[in-house]
């Protein structure tokens, strides 16, 4: 009898981990949302535009959770890597992942994971704090990865120069966009998943 319960529990757990058709559709839809959001950008002479893509990544993680959020973000990156013009300013191709802005794009995979964690500490107040702190940490890690690749490839800016510039031009805006995405994403998640 104990073995039957264990088997049933494992089967139920495996069923929950499977990706359903609804999950695939949601991941594809949110990858498309990120592709649209990516086109809202202000080009800068530094070669790294001001965008609101970070809002899209935080929204994806908040709404879909870490597993589906990672899938949606990976789909977006894959579409851009094969040449579809989904990156900012309607660009595409693997070379952009290796270029000045590539580190930011790779950093989204870490960011979406952190945005998608749904804390269950048993303390509602702590859960709420973590729902905002983890995405902000993800934003800061994304800025770090992006800044390091930018500095390595730019040739005319040091790591300190890139980070000094980023702290003024990108970080405050991106933290605000991340917080807005979390606030916006929570009710969307509840509507989509009926939680």
Mean pLDDT per block of 10 residues along the chain (195 residues) reads 54 65 94 95 80 95 97 97 94 94 96 96 95 97 94 86 88 95 96 81
- What was the pLDDT predicted at 46? 75
DSSP state of 91: B
- What was the pLDDT predicted at 195? 57
DSSP E strands in 79-170: the ranges are none
Domain boundaries defined on the chain? 21-193
CA distances from 30 to 6, 24, 75, 124 (A): 36, 10, 9, 28
Tokens of 23: 């999950």
pTM for the model: 0.87
- What was the pLDDT predicted at 48? 80
- What was the pLDDT predicted at 3? 56
Element (H, E) at 49: none
**Cβ–Cβ < 8 Å for 35, 154:** no
Bridge partners (DSSP) of residue 42 are 50
- What was the pLDDT predicted at 168? 87
Q: Tokens 């000094």 map to which residue?
A: 164
**Cβ–Cβ < 8 Å for 114, 142:** no
- What was the pLDDT predicted at 79? 97
CA–CA gap between residue 94 and residue 122 (Å, rounded): 43
Of 180, 179, 187, residue with least CA distance to 195: 187
- What was the pLDDT predicted at 185? 97
Q: Could you give the 3-state DSSP secondary structure of residue 46?
A: coil
For domain 21-193, say whether CATH 1.10.1760.20 is its number: yes
Phi, psi of 44 (to 5 degrees): -125, 155
CA–CA gap between residue 147 and residue 94 (Å, rounded): 19
Q: Could you give the 3-state DSSP secondary structure of residue 50?
A: strand
């Amino acid at each position: 009898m104990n073995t039957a319960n264990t088997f049933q529990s494992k089967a139920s757990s495996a069923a929950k981990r499977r990706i359903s058709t609804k999950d695939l559709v949601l991941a594809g839809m949110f990858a498309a949302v990120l592709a649209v959001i990516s086109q809202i950008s202000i080009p800068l002479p530094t070669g790294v535009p001001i965008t609101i893509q970070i809002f899209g990544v935080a929204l994806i993680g908040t709404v879909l959770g870490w597993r589906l959020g990672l899938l949606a973000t990976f789909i977006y990156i894959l579409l851009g890597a094969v040449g579809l013009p989904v990156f900012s300013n309607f660009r595409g191709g693997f070379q952009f992942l290796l270029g000045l802005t590539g580190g930011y794009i790779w950093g989204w995979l870490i960011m979406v994971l952190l945005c998608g964690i749904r804390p269950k500490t048993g303390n509602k107040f702590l859960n709420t704090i973590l729902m905002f702190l983890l995405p902000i940490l993800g934003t800061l890690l994304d800025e770090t990865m992006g800044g390091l690749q930018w500095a390595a490839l730019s040739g005319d800016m040091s790591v300190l120069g890139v980070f000094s510039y980023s702290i003024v031009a990108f970080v405050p805006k991106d933290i605000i966009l991340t917080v807005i995405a979390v606030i916006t994403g929570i009710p969307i998640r509840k509507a989509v998943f009926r939680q």
